[in-house]
Structure 1
Amino acid sequence: MSSNGLNSIEKKAAFSLAAVFGLRMLGLFMILPVFAIYGEQLIGYSPIWIGLAIGAYGLTQAMLQIPMGILSDKYGRKPIILIGLFIFLLGSIVAAMSDTIYGVVLGRALQGTGAIASAILALAADLSREEQRPKVMATIGMFIGLSFTIAMIIGPIVAEAFGLSGLFWFIALLTIFAMLLIQFLVPHSVNKAPRGDSVALPAQLKKLIRHPQLSRLNFGVFALHMAMTACFITLPKQFVESGLQLEDHWQLYLPTLIGSFFLMVPFMIFAIKKQKEKQMLSASVLLLTLALFLLWYLPTSFTGLVITVIMFFTAFNYLEATMPSILSRLAPAGVKGSVMGIYSSSQFLGAFSGGVLGGAIASNFGEQSIFLVMAVICCIWLIISLGMSPLKKSKNLSFTINVENEKQAGEVAEQLINMPGVIEATVVFTEAIAYLKVDEKRVNITKIKRLLNQVE
């Protein structure tokens, strides 16, 4: 079978899992453009509770993302994903039936409890060959970005037609559809990818959290989603105040988001071709910071809002699309699952913190101050990002190996690290796996396989 493209199972897995992930994220994102307005109608309304309702899912997601991945390794990917989607469905129903802000917060927290992102990514890894895995993951990432765009457009339309309760019932229907996809369309996994590549390894977490380069990206995704969640506590209201009714907000989001995608593509091409990923990441953080300062400083005219929102989403979409790729290249060999688990938890914790902090700022200092505080936090991120080391082109590989004990595993790892083009080598005796990070231009795969075949 050719390794140049996805085979039929990989294609089916890529698009079906991407659809499931996208539908679930669509359900989480759809309240962002409308809740600041419709939440005022709920019993118990206050800016703090609005922020909690918007960000509550992030706390439970952050807490359970890694444990759910580990459980999927023990009990199977599909059962854990289905359980997670069922909990998400319950949370949607609780929110749909609530006429108080407290019930909606509970429902959103329940939605987050169905933390299936790590289990879906692990299943995607199980169903794809190593050389094709980046394509499968990229497809899932593309659908996540698409779900955000669709949520910004259809959220106001559905809410205007059916109200806030109808919006949550719509999310519940999407969840049922996602469960059917998992049960009947997603291929059954027979083989598992190496554990270190797919799920978090608890023993590695403490060390990786302190990693000087990875921690910069973890703080970055935390700050990015904090800013995004906090800003949506007030942005929809500002659009209404500038003369754009809620049911017409899609007319702003559609061209703004499409325009931001077209603007970020040249930046991505330049960064990859010129190997300037680090510099372009810092430039995007600077653009995000400027957009937030302008949202705070400028009067809320419609033209000013459009310009600053385009700036915001151009930076947001670029960072959201490129940081996972940078993360995977910085990840030490054999712990990619742990690295992604910490990153995802940081992302969701940022969403929760943005909701809480944004609500507190709005209550005590006024909603306009949210933009100033988020701009200052992004300034800190900008300073931190400047300290990143230059990125090297590398590729992660894994090989099955027959080693008898830890001592022999260490000896083999030492031989591997001394081979030309091998940047990192980790041999895990308990998994019988050798993880390598290599320079594709210098490495000789044939020699590596020959060495591993000689191990008895």
Structure 2
Amino acid sequence: MLLPVIRILGEDLEGATLPLLGLALGIYGLSQAVLQLPLGLLSDKIGRKPVIYGGLVVFIAGSLVAGFSESIWGLIIGRALQGAGAIASAVMALAADLSRPEQRSKMMAMIGGSIGLAFAISLILGPILSEWLSLQGLFFVIAALAFIALIVAMTVVPRGDQASKVHLNLTFAERWKHVTAKGRIFVLALAVFVIHWSLVAVFMIVPDKLEQSGFALAQHSWIYLTVLILSIALMVPMMLGAERKKMHRQIMQLAFFVIVVALVSLFTGFTHIAFWLVVLTLFFAGFNLLEAKLPSTVSNLFGSQYRGTALGIFSTSQFLGAFLGGSLTGYLLPKLGLEGILYMNIALAALAGLALTFLGKLPEIQKIVIQLDDTDKESGQKAQISALKMPGVLEAIANDGEGKVYLQVDKSRINQKDLMALGQIEG
């Protein structure tokens, strides 16, 4: 809700300058980048719920600080506190704890879909609500929503027992070496860094340009609504084509090309509504596609023994992109002008798109269920350990009492004879 309006409405705050507004927009990402991994690790030690409760309380406090503030520095402090409620990793871990192995992918897809829906709705509601409530009022709405989330987490969401997964005895150095060996995690980290840099940078530029084109802030909502509908209509065929033809890397590179085209179009200076609808549709189609494909690519490349390390690098890069995209754009915009900022973003998007070439062949994910001869817990654990040591096995989870082991494997690397040594392959 804040992205479309903070650049414009924040100018009325005491001490507001363009660099400080950029810092206010981006500092949320810095707090997230610093705390996401430590709080995820803390949730492993003390439990998911305490971390989630604490994170929501901190987020609410940050929202109230920003809401009651009449100065730019109060806004910056409030945004930093909001980001310090970095509970995404704990929430996703709790979702994994509460879901059965065979349903886990559906659970994660539902959460991902809710995030995307919230993003779409908030872009539309932000300009509308800000007309009635002002920028400070938006923060009170956000605090209220977070309070509702806290109540739901305390009263509706089960506590859940953390999954008793078998882990190989690997040191952090061994995990880091495996994750970084081929450099592919850094390619994906660069890609997510760039798209979140570009997203925040665009919202440092576009709301002001829309006003200069004759569209009042209240009109921005229906522009974003139209753009999001059109971008989904453009993105879905691209996603389906990538799945059908197994061209995941190529479709991500196409998404970066689409973003570059959108950014280049801003040099024209056109102001007609059709121009803005086309440009913003292209940008959001590329962004939304990459926002969906990049994290799934990380999960597919790295098995459960290494996924936490890989996602830690990935998430930190994502939030750093948002921080630097806001703070540096705000600082450099008065010095470089619109053209300089556009050149910078175009160069970054082109670099990230070209870097994806180095991903090479991506895994062909297949789900396999192994029926064990014995149904006791010890047999399940032994089968998990044996499976995790096999090349191509990304995840192995045993359901106690069923005598089954659920595997996610790279179809192009797995050896069927190795799997058959574990037990009977179902289906």
TM bin (shorter chain): 0.7 to 0.9
Out of 284, 302, 309, the residue aligned to residue 280 of structure 2 is 309
Q: Report the counterpart of residue 411 of structure 2 in structure 1.
A: 439
Q: Report the counterpart of residue 234 of structure 1 in structure 2.
A: 205
| 1:124-135 matches, cutoff 5 A | 124-135=95-106
| Structure 2 counterpart SS, 1:224 | helix
**Using a 3 Å threshold, how does the CA distance of structure 1 residues 173 and 412 change in structure 2: closer, same or farther?**
closer
User: Does residue 178 of the first structure (1) align with residue 144 of the second (2)?
Assistant: no
User: Does residue 162 of the first structure (1) align with residue 133 of the second (2)?
Assistant: yes
| Structure 2 counterpart SS, 1:165 | helix
| 1:78-97 matches, cutoff 5 A | 78-97=49-68
For normalisation by structure 2, the TM-score amounts to 0.87
**Using a 3 Å threshold, how does the CA distance of structure 1 residues 393 and 229 change in structure 2: closer, same or farther?**
same
Give 1:443 deviation, angstroms: 3.7
**Using a 3 Å threshold, how does the CA distance of structure 1 residues 425 and 114 change in structure 2: closer, same or farther?**
closer
Percent identity, aligned pairs only? 37
Give 1:342 deviation, angstroms: 1.9
| 1:30-69 matches, cutoff 5 A | 30-69=1-40
Q: Aligned partners of 1:142 and 1:434: how far apart in 2?
A: 24
Give 1:447 deviation, angstroms: 2.8
| 1:265-284 matches, cutoff 5 A | 265-284=236-255
Contact 2:101-2:406 within 8 A present in 1 as well: no
Give 1:331 deviation, angstroms: 1.1
Q: Residue deviations 1:1-24, cap 9 Å, x none? A: xxxxxxxxxxxxxxxxxxxxxxxx
Give 1:187 deviation, angstroms: 1.6
Give 1:148 deviation, angstroms: 1.0
Q: Name stretches of at least 5 consecutive residues in structure 2 with no aligned partner.
A: 371-375, 397-404
Contact 2:226-2:277 within 8 A present in 1 as well: no
Q: Aligned partners of 2:63 and 2:134: how far apart in 1?
A: 14
| 1:383-422 matches, cutoff 5 A | 383-395=354-366, 412=386, 417=390, 422=391
**Using a 3 Å threshold, how does the CA distance of structure 1 residues 396 and 112 change in structure 2: closer, same or farther?**
farther
Q: Residue deviations 1:308-334, cap 9 Å, x none? A: 111001111111112122221111452
Contact 2:227-2:281 within 8 A present in 1 as well: yes
Give 1:391 deviation, angstroms: 1.7
Q: Residue deviations 1:279-301, cap 9 Å, x none? A: 11111111111111112344344
| Structure 2 counterpart SS, 1:194 | coil
Give 1:251 deviation, angstroms: 1.0
Q: Aligned partners of 2:150 and 2:365: how far apart in 1?
A: 37
| 1:213-252 matches, cutoff 5 A | 213-252=184-223
Q: Report the counterpart of residue 331 of structure 1 in structure 2.
A: 302
Give 1:202 deviation, angstroms: 8.0
Q: Which amino acid aligns with 1:305?
A: W
Q: Residue deviations 1:177-206, cap 9 Å, x none? A: 010110111122124253879xx9686346
Contact 1:361-1:367 within 8 A present in 2 as well: no
| Structure 2 counterpart SS, 1:296 | coil
Give 1:91 deviation, angstroms: 0.4
User: Does residue 423 of the first structure (1) align with residue 392 of the second (2)?
Assistant: yes
Contact 1:57-1:108 within 8 A present in 2 as well: yes
**Using a 3 Å threshold, how does the CA distance of structure 1 residues 434 and 177 change in structure 2: closer, same or farther?**
closer
- Which stretch shifts more, 325-334 or 97-106? 325-334
Q: Aligned partners of 2:125 and 2:166: how far apart in 1?
A: 38
Q: Report the counterpart of residue 143 of structure 1 in structure 2.
A: 114
| Structure 2 counterpart SS, 1:249 | helix
Q: Report the counterpart of residue 259 of structure 1 in structure 2.
A: 230
Contact 2:18-2:331 within 8 A present in 1 as well: yes
Q: Report the counterpart of residue 13 of structure 1 in structure 2.
A: none
| Structure 1 counterpart SS, 2:266 | helix
| Structure 2 counterpart SS, 1:299 | coil
- Which stretch shifts more, 385-394 or 293-302? 293-302
Q: Aligned partners of 2:364 and 2:82: how far apart in 1?
A: 38
How much is the aligned-residue C-alpha RMSD, in angstroms? 3.1
| Structure 2 counterpart SS, 1:234 | helix
Give 1:388 deviation, angstroms: 1.9
Q: Aligned partners of 2:181 and 2:306: how far apart in 1?
A: 14
Q: How many residues align?
A: 407
Q: Aligned partners of 1:269 and 1:174: how far apart in 2?
A: 34
Q: Report the counterpart of residue 109 of structure 1 in structure 2.
A: 80
**Using a 3 Å threshold, how does the CA distance of structure 1 residues 316 and 65 change in structure 2: closer, same or farther?**
same
User: Does residue 208 of the first structure (1) align with residue 179 of the second (2)?
Assistant: yes
Out of 265, 269, 289, the residue aligned to residue 318 of structure 1 is 289
Give 1:304 deviation, angstroms: 1.9
For normalisation by structure 1, the TM-score amounts to 0.82
Contact 2:36-2:316 within 8 A present in 1 as well: yes
**Using a 3 Å threshold, how does the CA distance of structure 1 residues 306 and 54 change in structure 2: closer, same or farther?**
same
Q: Name stretches of at least 5 consecutive residues in structure 1 with no aligned partner.
A: 1-29, 428-432, 452-456
